Each structure stands twice: as C-alpha cells, then as structure tokens.
Structure 1
Amino acid sequence: MIGGIGTTELIVIFALAVLLFGANKLPELARSMGTSIGEFKKAQKESERAVDRMADPDV
C-alpha cells in the first residue's frame, strides 16, 4: 500500500487513464510528466542555492 492507495485503487486509476488518454498517448504523457518533475526539482535546487548565497555571501 502506497500512502493509503491500495492495489485496487491503482488498477482503477490506470484503467481510467487508459480510457481517457488512450494506450498510445500514455508513454508520451508519462515522459512529459517526468521532464516536468525534473525541471521543477532543478528550479527548486537553484532557488535553494540562491537563498543560501543571500544568507552567506562568502559561499
């Protein structure tokens, strides 16, 4: 069980995704979501570094 979501719920979510987006679109959708998450994490790290530089200009 992942954070309160069981196997049955995951199967239902996957089935709905296939019905909504189609089997051919799912890999493209997953790829774009992965890219978006990567960009978000990169921006988050950059902002944390900027805050650290503001707090301690010698770094």
Structure 2
Amino acid sequence: MFGSLGLPELLILLAIVVLIFGVNKLPKLGKGLGEGIRNFKSSVRTEEKTASDENGQDATKDANNT
C-alpha cells in the first residue's frame, strides 16, 4: 500500500497534516496514534493466546477421548 509512496509524497502528506492539525497538536496526535497501535497489538496478542489456549485444550480433549 505504501510501497509506491516516495519521499516527495510523504513530505506533502506531512505538510497537509501540519496544516490541518497545527504544529502544537502534532505531539498529542502522535501520542494518541501510538497508544492506539499499542492497544491494537495488545488485543491481537491476547486473542491469539486465547485462541491457541482453546486449540490446545481441544487437542487435549481429543487425545483423552481416543
């Protein structure tokens, strides 16, 4: 998706973001974005662990039933 974006395109996007949000709000915006990504990754890890635990329990039940 972002593979075709070069440096000029990224600089234009940065300029647009600065114009829309202003220089003073950029740190808050970055912090919020970072926290959102961190929470998303944490949720994905939790779901993967839950799914693997459930699969492990199912495999144990199947092994005990045979």
Q: Which has the larger radius of gyration?
A: 2
The answer to which structure has the higher helix fraction is: 2
Quote the residue 2:13 is aligned against.
13
Percent identity between the two aligned chains = 33
TM-score (norm. length: structure 2):
0.81
List, as ranges, runs of 4+ consecutive aligned residues in structure 1 with deviation greater than 6 Å: none
Task: Report the alpha carbon displacement of residue 27 of structure 1 after superposing the two structures with TM.
Answer: 0.8
Tell me the matched-pair count.
57
User: RMSD over aligned Cα, in angstroms?
Assistant: 1.2
With structure 1 as the length reference, what TM-score do the two structures score?
A: 0.91
Unmatched tracts of structure 2, length 5 or more:
61-66
